[in-house]
Every structure is written in C-alpha cells, then in structure tokens.
Amino acid sequence: MTKIEVKNVFKIFGSNPKKVFPLLEKNLSKEEILEKTGNTVGVNDASFKVKKGEFFVVMGLSGSGKSTLIRCINRLIKPTKGQILIDGEDVVTASKEKLREIRRKKISMVFQNFGLFPHRTVAKNVEYGLEVQGIDENERRRKAYEALKLVGLKGYEESMPDQLSGGMQQRVGLARALANDPDILLMDEAFSALDPLIRKEMQDELLELQSKMHKTIVFITHDLDEALKLGDRIAVMKDGEIVQIGTPEEILTNPANDYVREFVQDVDRSKVITAESIMQKPIELASPKNGPRVVIRKMKKAGINSILVTDAEKKLKGIVTIDDAVELAKKDNENIEEIIKEIPTVSPDTPIVDIMPMSAEADYPIAVINEDNRLLGIIVRVSLISGIVGEGN
C-alpha cells in the first residue's frame, strides 16, 4: 500500500521560478541555471513512492536537495510544482486547515539539530504536538511520559533540554515526534550531529522501535553506511534530482551512474550484501518419499554428491549424501529419512560476513530458508567469494 507518493516535484528557490522550467527541459545544469537566472534548483522532478511501513532513505551530498525534498512532504517548503499525495491526498494544494490537520495527526518530524524548545522542559517539549491540538493536560502529560519511556528517557521528564547530552536531546526529539502517534516520521539527518558511537546506538534503537511500530519513515542522510543499515530502499540525490532508487543491494551491486558508483566505492560489501543476493537455485531436490535409488540417480544426473531434501511444501528436511544413499540401497532399505542429515541454514537477509565463518566449517552448501523453513536457495562457497569481490555486475 502506498503511503506517500511524490509526483514530479520541483522546488526552485528565487524570484522567478517560471524562467527556470524551460532551461531544465533543455537539460541545463544547476550551476548554469543559477548563473543565468539567479534561481537555485532545490529539487528537480523528484518522483517516488513510499510504501506503508517502509523505511525509505534519501541520500546525497551536501546541497543535493535532501532537506528541501523532505520539507516538501509536510510542506514546510511549498513545492514550486508537482504533487505529494499522502494516503491519496495532495499536500501541496491542501488548505491551511487541512495541512495543519495532516501535520498534527499524520506526520511528525525529527531535526538535525534537534529543534527542541529550549524554554520548555523535556516533557513539555514532547507534549507540544498534543498541546497545539488542545488535548487535555493530564492526557498529554501521560502520553509524553509514555513516549519518553519508549526512548529510554524515564526520569528526565522535568529536565531542561540543555541539561541533556546530544544523544539524549535527540531522543527527546524522537519522543516528541512519536507522542502523537503519527503514521509518518520525517527524519532530516536526525543522527548526523551525534558522535559515531551514540549514533550507532540510536540507529540500532530506531530499527528496534521500527520493528515494533511499523511507521512509514523517510530518513535523510549523507552517510552511505547509515543509509545501507537503515533503509529498506534508498534514493540517491544529486543536484536536486533523484538519480537512483533501489534496495541497498541494488544500489551497491548495480549503481546507476558514476555518481552513485563513487558513493558506494568504499563500502565493505560483505556487511551489506545478503544471503538472498548470492544464493542460487538448487539444481535438483529430493523428496523424503524418494527411495535411495531414485535419489542416487538424481545426483548422478545433476553431477552432485549430495542433495537437499524438501517435502511437498518445499520445507527443508536436510541433506542426503551419495555415499549414505548407496549404503542404504545396499541394505535394501527404502526409507531415506533415516540418512537425512542437518545442514546449516540462514535467513535471506543474513549478511555475507556472518555466512563466511559458517561456510568455512561446513562440508555442504548452506541452505537459505524463510521463517516457515521453506527452502529459498543455496549458497556454495564460490558464490560467496564472488559476492564479496563484486564480480559479474
């Protein structure tokens, strides 16, 4: 289900945006347009959809238009042209009252430098979104305390923001954004002002919160590692344009152009590439109902010396080696279930780093299974290595 749909959005800063559109059509660059017209192209024809519950990351260098784009979504900045649909309703043309309603109920924002109200206590900061809605004081206090507990700030409710560390201040920012239980969280470089360690901690906590809350998140960053870690999908921006949208793996393995390629160059691929992207389809499978002779024939035909056994629902039973099967056939025993051995399994989103040590120990391929134990594919050592080196793309 689509939650946010951005359709051909432009934002031109300056006194005469009309002049800019024909130049954009002629493919003039941002610098040329600035020189010719004095207008700055903030966002240039951005289009994308964010699904409900998705963690959508927008990445790009400084000045690429990320902040402008995210501010168009709650109309802190009004797009010059285009549509932004939230649950099908256009924010760009919404009336003042409608816009206020959307901001109060549907979208909250977290800011790079926290944007806290320095004259209000932590709890009063968190209450703010409820206060402007005219919600009863006890009720909003209760919700604020709840939100603060959620982000691990129990006990700091009556502190002033400037008494807290940066990481804690941003937790307040997060609690404030969560207090009115919005569907959508907009986070503009929310962790960029924090120390690396605190930052990592916050990333982990956000992911954990997200696994419980299933918000739709639009997260801005200029840090690729952060984008890869957090994003279900990533949009890469350059000079106001979105140059690529894809899953972290797609961005890494298949960069759309040199700009993206340069961005992803120095990432440790083993941390990002997952089982899913390097697994292969097994050449042949056996059923537990097969007798040993059938199984041996299958292996010989496929040129393999072990075979995975799955049941009618494709659930993984284990592996049978050719030696065991021959042994069983000699005894005239038809029940291969007796010789099925366990093999190591991983889920599709396991990163390569974690698979490598397993692979080093295992004598057999590694099976990739989903949460129902259904076989999705196998990983053999060769594909593991080529995944790391990044061949074949």
Partner 1 sequence: MLTLNIGQWFEVFIKWLKDNFEGFFDIVKNVLESGIVGTEDLLLLLPSIVLIIAITLIAWKSAGRGVAAFTFVGLLLIDSMELWDDTMKTLALVLISALVALIFGIPLGILAAKSKLVDKILRPILDFMQTMPAFVYLIPAVLFFGLGKVPGSVATIIFSMPPVVRLTNLAIRQVPTEVVEAAKSFGSTSNQLLFKVQLPLALPTILAGINQTIMLALSMVVISAMIGAGGLGNQVLKGIQQYRIGLGFESGVSVVILAMVLDRITQAFGNSK
Give the count of beta carbons closer than 10 Å to the beta carbon of residue 163.
11
Question: Residues 6 or more apart from 266 whose CB is under 8 A from it?
Answer: none
Q: Taking Cα atoms as reference points, which of 152, 142, 216 lies closest to residue 184?
A: 216
Say if CB 345 and CB 369 are below 8 A apart.
yes
Q: Choose from partner 1, Mg ion, ligand ATP, none: what does 87 bind? Cβ within 5-8 Å by kind.
A: none
Q: Choose from ligand ATP, partner 1, Mg ion, none: what does 113 bind? Cβ within 5-8 Å by kind.
A: partner 1
- What are the two backbone dihedrals, phi and then psi, of residue 374, each rounded to the nearest 5 degrees? -85, 135
Q: From the CB of 268, what's the least distance to ligand ATP, in Å? A: 23
Which amino acid does the sequence have at 368?
V
Residue 222 touches ligand ATP, criterion: CB under 6 A: yes
What is the torsional sign of CA 185, 189, 99, 65? negative
- DSSP code per residue over 256-289: SSHHHHHHHTTS-HHHH-BHHHH-B--S-EE-TT
Q: Choose from partner 1, Mg ion, ligand ATP, none: what does 64 bind? Cβ within 5-8 Å by kind.
A: ligand ATP
Which amino acid does the sequence have at 363?
D
Give the count of beta carbons closer than 10 Å to the beta carbon of residue 230.
23
Residue 68 touches ligand ATP, criterion: CB under 6 A: yes
Q: Choose from partner 1, ligand ATP, Mg ion, none: what does 109 bind? Cβ within 5-8 Å by kind.
A: partner 1
Nearer to partner 1, 40 or 277 (CB): 40
**Which parts of this chain interact with partner 1 (CB under 8 A)?**
71, 74, 76, 100-105, 107-109, 111-119, 128-129, 131-133, 176, 180, 186
Nearer to ligand ATP, 113 or 270 (CB): 113
Q: How big is the site for ligand ATP, counted in residues (CB under 6 A)?
A: 12
Q: From the CB of 218, what's the least distance to partner 1, in Å? A: 13
β-sheet bridge partners, residue 235:
58, 245
Residue 15 touches ligand ATP, criterion: CB under 6 A: no
Q: From the CB of 191, what's the least distance to partner 1, in Å? A: 15
Q: From the CB of 129, what's the least distance to partner 1, in Å? A: 4
Nearer to Mg ion, 224 or 379 (CB): 224
Alpha helices in the chain (DSSP H): 20-25, 30-37, 66-73, 96-105, 122-131, 137-150, 166-179, 196-213, 224-230, 248-253, 258-264, 269-272, 275-278, 292-302, 322-330, 352-361, 381-389
The interface with ligand ATP within residues 36-55 (CB under 6 A) comprises 40, 42
Nearer to partner 1, 40 or 253 (CB): 40
The interface with Mg ion within residues 53-82 (CB under 5 A) comprises 67
Site of interaction with ligand ATP (CB under 6 A): 13, 40, 42, 60, 62-68, 222
Site of interaction with Mg ion (CB under 5 A): 67
